[in-house]
């Protein structure tokens, strides 16, 4: 007979579009424009919408789609994938270095309004907290910038491991870092395939809607799941 399912002792979160999101497109474009003396282009009526349309169209090109495969396995692969995408966009062509610098700046990623309160509440209940993320640089800089690095006990990041979700080794490594049995951990993310892969190694999993949010992410539900 299988052992009883233990209570949740740790929560493992995805990072991008679960705890944090990138700054809005116009803010990012204006930072790139300021760095490359292209701000005047953005002041033209409809310019941001036009660039947004070009970005979406370029992201569907077969060569760009192919370059995205495995992009979070290393910083070099991610950089090549972004370059291949951005060089298809008039405003970003020739500004790729500045664009990448602004993408990875410490303040380029911001927490959802409910991220910090939920993380603090989990810590207040004595639960361990970790992150498993497909990310191509050290996301800890974003946590530190917002004063939230002390709220996370362990980070397992794809580019450091040479693996991407749903590889079970990533989830198992996080549980080991948290000192908990995988069956005593809850995975929270927004991708049923990648984050849902945690179920293969015993974690319970909660999937948030994969949608753009400008307000709270709905993380309060996690507190109810572990109560």
Q: What is the pLDDT of residue 2?
A: 67
Residue 189 in any domain: the answer is yes
What average pLDDT does the chain have?
A: 96
pLDDT in tens, 77-107: 999 999 999 999 999 999 999 999 999 999 9
Q: What is the pLDDT of residue 146?
A: 98
pLDDT in tens, 160-204: 999 999 999 999 999 999 999 999 999 999 999 999 999 999 999
Instruction: Say yes or no to pLDDT of 15 above 80.
Output: yes
Q: What is the pLDDT of residue 214?
A: 77
Q: What is the pLDDT of residue 4?
A: 80
Q: What is the pLDDT of residue 125?
A: 96
Kindly state whether residues 86 and 183 are assigned to the same domain.
no
Instruction: Say yes or no to pLDDT of 13 above 70.
Output: yes
What mean pLDDT comes out for the span 142-168? 97
What mean pLDDT comes out for the span 22-40? 97
Q: Give the pLDDT band (50/70/90) at residue 3.
A: confident
Q: Give the pLDDT band (50/70/90) at residue 1.
A: low
Tokens of 62: 């077969």
- Alpha-helical segments (H) within the chain: 25-36, 39-42, 47-59, 62-68, 75-86, 96-103, 115-124, 140-145, 158-161, 168-178, 220-225
Kindly state whether residues 152 and 203 are assigned to the same domain.
yes
Residues with Cβ within 8 Å of 159's Cβ and at least 6 positions away in sequence, in order, are: 72, 73, 74, 75, 78, 135, 136, 137
Give the number of domains in the chain: 2
What mean pLDDT comes out for the span 2-11? 87
DSSP H or E segment with residue 204 = strand 204-207
Instruction: Say yes or no to pLDDT of 23 above 60.
Output: yes
Question: Which CATH number does the domain housing residue 218 bear?
Answer: 3.40.50.1000
Pick the last residue of a domain from 83, 107, 131.
107
HSE at residue 187, side-chain half, CA atoms within 13 A, is 33
Q: Give the pLDDT band (50/70/90) at residue 227.
A: confident
Residue 4 in any domain: the answer is no
pTM here is 0.94
Kindly state whether residues 70 and 181 are assigned to the same domain.
no
DSSP H or E segment with residue 187 = strand 185-189
Q: What is the pLDDT of residue 85?
A: 98
What mean pLDDT comes out for the span 137-150? 98
- Burial of 183: CB neighbours in 10 Å, binned 0-12, 13-18, 19+: middle
Name the DSSP class of 99.
H
Pick the last residue of a domain from 107, 140, 160.
107
Kindly state whether residues 93 and 74 are assigned to the same domain.
yes
Instruction: Say yes or no to pLDDT of 142 above 60.
Output: yes
pLDDT cut 70: percent of the chain above it? 99
Q: Is 132 helix (H, G, I), strand (E, B) or coil?
A: strand
Instruction: Say yes or no to pLDDT of 69 above 60.
Output: yes
């Amino acid at each position: 007979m299988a052992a009883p399912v233990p209570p949740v002792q740790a929560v493992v979160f995805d990072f991008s579009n679960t705890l944090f999101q990138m700054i809005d497109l116009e803010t990012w474009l204006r930072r790139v424009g300021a760095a490359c003396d292209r701000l005047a282009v953005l002041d033209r009526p409809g310019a941001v919408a036009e660039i947004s349309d070009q970005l979406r169209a370029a992201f569907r090109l077969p060569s760009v789609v192919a370059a995205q495969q495995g992009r979070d396995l290393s910083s070099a692969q991610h950089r090549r994938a972004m370059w291949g995408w951005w060089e298809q966009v008039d405003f970003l062509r020739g500004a790729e270095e500045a664009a990448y610098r602004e993408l990875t700046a410490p303040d380029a990623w911001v927490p959802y309004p409910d991220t910090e309160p939920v993380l603090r509440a989990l810590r207040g209940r004595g639960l361990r907290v970790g992150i498993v993320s497909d990310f191509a640089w050290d996301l800890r800089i974003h946590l530190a910038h917002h004063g939230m690095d002390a709220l996370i006990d362990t980070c397992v990041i794809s580019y450091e491991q040479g693996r991407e979700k749903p590889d079970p080794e990533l989830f198992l490594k996080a549980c080991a870092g948290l000192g908990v049995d995988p069956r005593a951990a809850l995975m929270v993310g927004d991708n049923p395939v990648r984050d849902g892969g945690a179920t293969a190694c015993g974690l319970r999993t909660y999937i948030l809607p994969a949608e753009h949010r400008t307000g709270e992410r709905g993380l309060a539900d996690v507190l109810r799941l572990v109560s």
